[in-house]
Amino acid sequence: MLIVLGVLLETEWVLRSRYKLGKASIAGAFTKLLESVDVELEHSPTVEEALYLWAHHLSANFAACLLTARAAHLGRSRFLTFDAGAARLPGVELLA
């Protein structure tokens, strides 16, 4: 089974907003998906990097971390955003 990055974003949003799960629980569930032999995540290195960023940058949300990680894996050294929290991530610049 393949889980694409967009579905992962939606899953995080639902788990956080609807089911009120915390960051640690969601990150743990995503880590288990990464480790599962029955599940394939679209570009696992991006997901791994996003989870690392999310754990180490408290002001950034998961979506910002995933987008930043994907941009980096696509060879982009900078990523532009309107999100002040995301702008604290490495390689991310705030558009004013």
Question: Token digits for 91?
Answer: 């390689």
Q: Residue 96 above 90 pLDDT?
A: no
- How many structural domains is the chain composed of? 1
List the domain range (segments joined by +) for residue 7.
2-94
Place of tokens 């060879």: 75
For 65-74, the pLDDT digits (tens) are: 999 999 999 9
Q: Residue 77 above 90 pLDDT?
A: no
| DSSP letter (8 states) at residue 61 | -
Q: What is the pTM of this model?
A: 0.91
Q: Are 29 and 70 in contact (CB under 8 A)?
A: no
Mean pLDDT of 36-63: 96
Q: How far is the C-alpha of 46 from the C-alpha of 42, rounded, in Å? A: 8
Q: Which of 84, 78, 81 is nearest to 95 (CA)?
A: 81
